[in-house]
Chain A
Amino acid sequence: MLDVVILLVPALPLLAAALLGVLWASGRTLAERTVSRMVCGAIGLSLVGSAFALTQVLTLHHGVEVRAWRWLESGRFTVDVAFLVDPLSGVMMTLVSLLCLVASWFARNYMHAEAGFTRFFALVSLFAGAMLVLVMANNYVVMFAGWELAGICSYLLIGYQHERTSAVQGATRAFITKRVAEVALVLGILLVFVQFGTVDYTRVFGAVGGLSTEMANVMALCLFLGAAGKAAQLPFATWLPRAMEGPTPSSALFYGGTMVSAGVYLVIRSQPIFNAAPNVLVMVAMVGVLTAVYGALVGWVQTDVKSILAHSVMTQLGLMFLACGLGAYTAAVHHLVAHAVFSTLLFLTAPSILLRLRDASPREHGDRHQMTTPQWLFILGVAGLMAMPFVSGWWETDERGAAFEDAGHVLLAFGAKAAFGTVVLSSRAVQRAFGGPLGSSVLRVMVISLVAVGLAVAVQQTVLAGGIDQGWFQRFMGGPDVKHGDVAPLLLHALMLVLLVALTVGWLGALYFDRQQPEVHGALMVRLRTLHAVALRRFHLEDLQERWLVAPLLRLGRWLDRVDRRVIDRAMGTPGPAQQVRSVLAQWEEHVATGGAVSSEGRGLGPARGLMGTLAEVAAAFSSALERYVIGMLVGRGVPQTSGLLGRALNGLEHVVGKPVVLGAVVAAGALMLLGVR
């Protein structure tokens, strides 16, 4: 019974998607109601199944593995399509199916009368299935299948309005960036297999003990790079804000916390490997903090609601990685779940921001209110109070903490440097509401913040216990497979310190900003201006990528292309004309494709010259037919620009990456790495 339910959970949405795909490909127009009922029904049943499985697992006190069928078998390499439900995946699958249900229920009305209604629902359903496969898989290969499928859905939904260039560009950027990160992930999975001879979680984690630290580091690094790409961490962060091109419900679903959380999930799931790789853990934490700071800073200067949300998601994911890096996996899980729900709600209500925010003219001529002595004393007292637990706790480093000391300093320095705004903003907000001199606003803010933070810490400690040993959430998650993080006190202290610094720096900043004329020159002012300017340019991340990655790649591609044409073509005797003929055919076929349907039979290709020529042409015809079918089916019929834009965007890339020489180089590099590892 449980086995069947578990199998049905990912199967239902996938089936619904497949059914929609088939019906749609057969050219039938489906009523919106039919489509949405089908998808909501399938995902709803998945939700029920997930909840059932979760309760079962919690009562059984052990994970359940279900094998569907053997997928791959090659020598000693076997992969089963099999699922593992333990508290972690149980929580994740419930979360995923719940949010997918909410988003598709929302889209029923929201997407009404959109040209791509069916396409949207088919993709959401496919995505739900993919995510469920991802979180439920019992091995890396099946997880990777879900991972990829979710990525493709994200690509197609960012490019939902394919007639807009920026949407297609955004989609391509997201797709390519994640693909680059996935190269590392694939390598990581390969390493896992090479090392352990299996990709099943249980067997892999059982054997982690025998792993050398170096090997564990490489392996964890690869896995983490893949995760960082998916979760839009530095240096891959640029794709996430550009991905806000899709319809609001899909943005909520993908980037509000469901798909992007897959990266965090991967790290949490692979925690035994990460625990064996302390250096990578430090790196995870570093990347997390850096991204959090980056996201917060860039988010502060954004003026549109979706970019604000995108950067705040990035920040939260960074904080989850920080938690992972500090070993507090349970805290990360708790944060992941809380954030996904919270963020989805924020995304879905994004259009109503106009009702919530009022026009706030900038108070650039703030009144020069003098702080009174009691106010200073109050502030000092607060600071002292907040520092107490930190001061008492910081020096009691346990054996693990020592490893983190160096990293910790750096992390905290970053956190402190960047987090100077918490109170700036709050005081401005309060002043807006209450008016009056700034000083009293600051006091009020301090009260509100203190209450909020105090409440937060209290709740954290007692109710949620996200970071605390033996809290209820930890017990709840504490199934047989989850190890207790033993560095939680450090996490708490680290966060406390960051909080302290943020509060003081932020408060000082608030005073400085609001009390000084913006035109006043001073070293701090100038530097802050630079920071603002740089944050507005998103730390030049896109420029840097363009300059150090894309441009050289394009140059390399052109150079290789020239070599290809000048040297290889001539040496191989591949006739130029035959290729040209093919491109004419391609042009003709483009017309066919844009006409909206597909010609029924393969036609005689232009005169082929020799075996190579024939092969090349057959391959070309086949791939172009395939492309025509796939693109045609996925992106909608009779949309002339679609294939054009997508095609052109992809073509440019293909132009570079698709060169046999480049591919060869990548494969060779991979092989060398593997050999070297052995």
Chain B
Amino acid sequence: MSTHNHAHETPRDPRERLRHEVEHASHLLAAQGPIRTFVHHNTLHGLQHLHFDDAIREAERVLGGQGYLPVETFRRLHVEGRIPRDQLLRALEELSGLPLTEKPAANVTVRDVVMAHLLHGVDRASPSELAWEIEGRGALGRLRGDLPADVRAQLLRKAHDELERGVARIGVEWTISDWLGSITGLDVAGHVTRVAASGGDAGGAERALRELGIPVEKRAGYVELAQRRCPSGPDAWLHLEALTVSALAERHWSVEGNLPSLQRHFREHVEAYAAETLWRACLGIWALEDPTSPTDAALSPRDPHGGVAEQAWIHAEEMEAAGGPAVTLTSSQVATVQALLTRADEGDHARLCWTIQRELRAAELGRAGLEALRTLLSLHADEVAARLQEELRTQDPHARMLAHAHDVATSLMDGLAHGSTHRDVLLAVTGVDVNERVHPRMLELCSAFLDGGMATWRMPGRTLGLYDAWRNHASHVLDLGNPDDQELKSALAELPVLPVDAVLQSLRALGVEEEAWGGYLGRILLQLPGWGGMISWMERSGRRERSVDLVQFLAVRLFLERMEIARLARRTWHVEGTTEGLRQYFLTHPEEIVVRRELFSGSLPEHLAETARHLCHDENPRHRAGWTSLANLLWHHHEITGGISAHDHAWRLFHLSQLLGLGAEEVRALTRDDATALLRVLDGFPVEKHRRIWQAAYESTYRDQVLDALWQNRGRGRWKDRPTRPRAQIAFCIDDREESFRRHVEEIDPEYETLGVAGFFGVAVHYQGLDDEAASARCPLGVNPQHHVREVAQEDAGRQMARHRSESRWQQAVSDVLWELRRSLVGSYFLVDLVGAVSAVPLLGRVAFPGAFDDVANRVRSPMNTAVPTRLTVDAREVDGRRSGFTTAEQADRVEATLRNMGLTSGFGAVVLLFGHGSISVNNPHLSAYDCGACGGNHGGPNARLFAAMANAPEVRAVLATRGIVIPDDTWFVGAEHNTCNELLTYYDTDVIPASNKQAFAELVKDMEEARRRSAHERARRFRSAPRNPTPERALRHVQERAVDLSQARPELGHATNACAVVGRRSLTRGVFLDRRAFLISYDATQDPTGSILERILMAVGPVGAGINLEYYFSTVDNLRFGCGSKVVHNVNGLLGVMDGPRSDLRTGLPKQMVEIHEPMRLQMIVEASTETLGAIYGRQKPLQELIGNAWVHLVAVDPHSGEASVFTPGRGFVPWTPPGSALPTVKASSDWYREKADFIPPALIQGDRHA
């Protein structure tokens, strides 16, 4: 958040300044309101002023989590053919900024290295991972499993050739020990020679040759080689060789140590031979020892792990005994010291020299000796002494450790000024998270205070506001006689009256500098982003029935936090939990801090961790020295594990050369510089940078598919203009889920024209249904409707209405009483006894036979649900001081705007059917996330109904006629609602359809029945629990059952898979199978010369589409951090949201079940308009510049006349797009294309609609 520019001057007054900082810090909180009004929005809306990629980097830094899919997923998509290699290369060239054509080493370009890294991954290993890879998973027994077949074959061929060449050299220029030496990287021959020289016993040469399995014809040459190695005794040499080879072969490959068996073994395991030689060649480049080899350099067997550990321990013991680490001296320094010693005098001097003498070993000086030497040097004030003194300082590991420790302690404390909190610092060095004690209190408080009606016994005094209610509450918590509790109580009494003062008080008590407030508070708020976001939402949305805001929240939180920090600091070190108190302690005890930090970050080696853990609980001051010795050991550990190593350098080169197809011989030919240069290329392109490239390639692959489909569909789609009158117009929401429905409608009868428009149909309204308790806003987020419309009973339906009202009241009362009775102590006993056994019926029915049970239940319930014929209060009236309904002019304005948006200004059919949409399912807290986003997370049916009523009004039509839109008298508008979950279609006000239109409407309804069956059929392909290849009827029954199935965590799939938005005439997309992935927005560029309609559409559709798309994007790429995890553990809290289990923050974003089939890619906004028009709009509109210029949404222009596409590239403008030129598959009907396919399907052309 530090990068967020402060918009205006920061105020002087501390209170104002604090409020300003809080307001500023709140931008990164989740902006999700109560779950019953779920509205999609960009998860990173607070960072939208940054470029998409920068925003992700910032989010990962501040919020944690991952902003792209994992690299492994991208690699899998590549293997599945979803991201072709050429797209990846193109993205690489455009985005990476690497010198791809340079050659870091012979015949290898940067592109080769980078592509190998991208496609397969060349990663470092830790020492233990290396051990595990090689010994546990046999990495030397085979080549990488993901090698392309040709590379593998090539490597095997090379290995085979090398093997045969090696075998051929035996007896000519190589002995077997030379050969094995070349394979194992050990000096086998040298070892044999050395042992032989030291006088081993001689055996017969013949016998040795037989044991070695040397063929008779080669024996003479072989003996000669032995002779050359050991002129004094070739017999002894050969004998020793046979022994050595036998031991080595047994140890390494478990085979007999003779030529035939070795030869056979390697020929049978060429792959292992290839891997092993390659690995050794890689080690050889840096002359590294193989840490995993079962044989050490002295050719004796070893156990790598026990050995290392044992060594470490011996070192530790020695260090402890010596009182600290010894200093390594160079030979010249040793000489200087020894020279000093020879000048030994009497007395002190002699004693010092004697100590030094005793402590001076081969090349190092012990701790006591060092002290003595220092003293000695201080006695000799000459230049040599001064230089040595200085050298010793830099060489002394203890001093370096202290410097390092000091740095660590300082950087920890400095973090407090840069966005980390006391909690972070203490967590890092004590392993105790104060959040674990603060969060339960905060969760309790927020849930109890903000509860929307779940608790039976509500928190008292909520009208006072969060802060005061909490103060009252906290002062009533029982005192258990803890000193902590008592302290808490007395501190509570000292809290100021104003919450903002309380925040200031806490910040001062903690010692947070004023400059650091913003970062500090932001970090604090992000500890509970869900609740913080909810409070921030309530504050902003003005729902202030309970006074609550972030300052109050922070006042409580900081108070609790500072109490806990004080407690922890006091318990651990007896210091105050303030910045100053901690700083003092940290800087005076840096050894303790550095060891603690490593211990609690989990990177302390286990043999030190045990001791460190004990020290943490050791109160005895005599044991304080333990920290220093541990810190020294730790430093020693760091020093020996740094530098060039097998697990880093050799291991990566080993994998890289496999991927590049380099054999052992070619690797041996590399110089050390070549190899380092190759690795540097890898370093310059770390995995974090890969994801951006992959993402771009993923998106452009899909974009090209869609653009290609649109290109090939040129001139095929019907109703580009309306030469004849369509049979009917059917308008849908722009929702991607309606794409399939529209396609099926058109396939049923091409005479239908379908249109797409934002699902509130341009009538923003507060709507209150017959049974609703209150009105809700039916319009996109950010629009504040000025009109109220209610659903009321028709005048002649008073009797039904009265019955209906009394029925629903009784039902409500009974269900409420039951709910409360269940929670009462005594009532529940009888209730359970009474209804317990009976509830077996609904239990079994609803779980085992959801569909049938629902039918029966509806039939039983229907006599108790009297239907009431209703009307909407469309026309303007004044009701209870509020404006109700619209005047004729207002109605005409809205109807005109919507018709013009759609381009429907002439050629009206006999019926214009308008479908709003919504979704109904059971057991689904996220229900409203499936509803119409354009209606604010509500059902859109009422808007459609309202629009139809307006458009049918003769006086409205009269006004419209004066404005150039003539709606014929025989055209009738009908509002309807499409339930996207169970495909139920509800038509409104059918009783007022004129007789002349009745017939047309009846036929239309029949076709819609067929369309919904087909729609259900297409949707069923993506449901795993749906029957395979069902009939349309069966599929429809399945989706209906799904909607009432308690056990169904995926009643429908929502916007999953949304990927593009097409703004333009339907003729552009009609006849293309877009697989429910496209928002379709009707817009006719030919009727909009100035671009003003388009501007209006883009300003509405851009943010809405991006909001949906980006929420799905982030919930998919990191469901745990940006989404809300799996539904299976969700727990509804306070009617506000869900949490995981009984104790967690409110979870925001989408559940895993909603996004698991989603393909996270940014929205491709394809607009049928000229680049000039679009450019002009882009230049005028800041919000669009932010969305498109920062690449949160991609923009493509399709020319309305030529159909040519241009892709907008930020910084470069519109770049013409060239079609790839391969023909798209054409099918008879949609169902032919999707049949038997359950996963992603690319676009195809549908034949059924070939009309020009």
Contact = CB atoms under 8 A, between A and B. Distances in A.
Interface of A: 32, 98, 102, 105-114, 160-161, 163-164, 166-167, 170, 241-242, 244-249, 292-293, 296, 299-308, 310, 312, 315-316, 319, 334-335, 337-342, 344-346, 348-362, 364-365, 415, 418-419, 421-422, 424-426, 428-430, 432-434, 444-445, 448-449, 452-453, 455-457, 459-460, 464, 466, 495, 498-499, 502, 506, 518-519, 525-526, 528-530, 532-537, 540, 543-544, 547, 558, 561-562, 565, 577, 579-581, 583-588, 591-592, 595, 597, 599, 603-607
Given A112-B1050, A581-B309, A533 B473 contact: yes
A353 B614 CA distance: 49
B1141 A167 contact: yes
B1046 to A, nearest CB: 6
A428 B464 CA distance: 21
Contacts, number: 405
Most B CB atoms within 10 A — which of A105, A304, A361, A362? A304
A448 B817 contact: yes
Nearest to B922: A352
B460 A244 contact: no
Contacts of A425: 456, 820, 823-824
Contacts of A418: 825
Interface in B799-822: 809-810, 812-817, 819-822
Interface in B291-322: 303, 305-306, 308-310, 312-314, 317
B270 interface: no
Nearest to A425: B820
B1128 A306 contact: no
Interface in B1149-1186: 1153, 1156
Query: What are the 3 A-B residue pairs with the smallest beta carbon separation, nearest first?
Result: A338-B836, A456-B830, A429-B816
B129 interface: yes
A301 B473 CA distance: 13
A350 B308 CA distance: 56
A577 B317 contact: yes
Contacts of B1126: 114, 161
A110 B1047 contact: yes
A588 B305 contact: yes
Nearest to B301: A604
A584 B607 contact: yes
A535 B827 contact: no
Interface stretch (B48-56, B444-452, B585-593): B444-452
A355 B825 contact: no
B456 A607 contact: no
B857 interface: no
Interface in B990-1019: none
Interface in B93-136: 128-129, 131-132, 135-136
12 contacts: A242-B1142, A296-B825, A316-B829, A342-B832, A351-B1127, A354-B925, A419-B825, A419-B826, A422-B825, A448-B817, A583-B610, A604-B303
Contacts of B825: 292-293, 296, 315, 415, 418-419, 421-422, 498, 502
B931 to A, nearest CB: 13
A247 B1127 CA distance: 8
B1132 A362 contact: no
A113 B1156 contact: yes
Interface string B395-420: 00000000000000000000000000
B861 to A, nearest CB: 15
Interface in B823-841: 823-837, 839-840
Given A114-B1126, A606-B306, A305 B1131 contact: yes
B1140 A429 contact: no
Given A303-B1133, A592-B136, A453 B830 contact: yes
B1139 to A, nearest CB: 7
B1142 A241 contact: yes
B306 A605 contact: yes
B1210 interface: no
A341 B839 contact: yes
A456 B818 CA distance: 13
Nearest to B618: A562
B836 A354 contact: no
Contacts of B609: 583
A448 B813 contact: yes
Contact of B1128 (A248, A302, A415, A606): A248
B458 interface: yes
B1141 A351 contact: no
Interface stretch (B150-158, B474-482, B495-503, B1187-1195): B474-482
Contact of A354 (B310, B927, B1024, B1050): B927
Interface residues of B, dominant DSSP = helix
Contacts of A415: 825-826
A358 B842 contact: no
Interface stretch (B349-357, B510-518, B843-851): B843-851
Given A113-B1024, A342-B836, A456-B831, A359 B452 contact: yes
A587 B1142 contact: no
A583 B459 CA distance: 51
B1135 interface: yes
A111 B1128 contact: yes
Contact of A315 (B809, B828, B1120, B1156): B828
Contacts of A364: 462-463
Contact of B460 (A308, A350, A518): A518
Contacts of A356: 815, 819
B509 to A, nearest CB: 24
Interface residues of A, dominant DSSP = helix
Contact of A170 (B816, B834, B1050, B1142): B1142
B1027 interface: no
B399 to A, nearest CB: 27
A587 B306 contact: no
Nearest to B816: A429
B137 interface: yes
B1130 interface: yes
A533 B476 contact: yes
A580 B128 CA distance: 17
Contacts of A98: 840
A301 B925 contact: no
A460 B310 contact: no
Most B CB atoms within 10 A — which of A110, A111, A334? A110
Nearest to B131: A588
Contacts of A430: 813, 816-817
A126 to B, nearest CB: 19
Given A312-B828, A358-B453, A532-B460, A591 B813 contact: no
Contacts of A113: 1024, 1153, 1156
Contacts of A339: 832, 836
Contact of B136 (A299, A348, A584, A595): A595
B454 interface: yes
B815 A585 contact: no
B924 interface: yes
Nearest to B1144: A166
B834 A456 contact: yes
B1142 A345 contact: no
A564 B817 CA distance: 61
A390 to B, nearest CB: 13
A167 B1139 CA distance: 12
Contacts of B1139: 304
B606 A584 contact: yes
B459 A532 contact: yes
A591 B925 CA distance: 40
B826 A359 contact: no
A245 B1140 contact: yes
A169 to B, nearest CB: 9
B305 A300 contact: no
Given A247-B1129, A304-B1131, A499 B1046 contact: no
A433 B809 contact: yes
Given A357-B454, A424-B456, 9 more contacts: A109-B1048, A110-B1049, A166-B1140, A341-B836, A449-B827, A459-B834, A532-B473, A561-B614, A565-B614
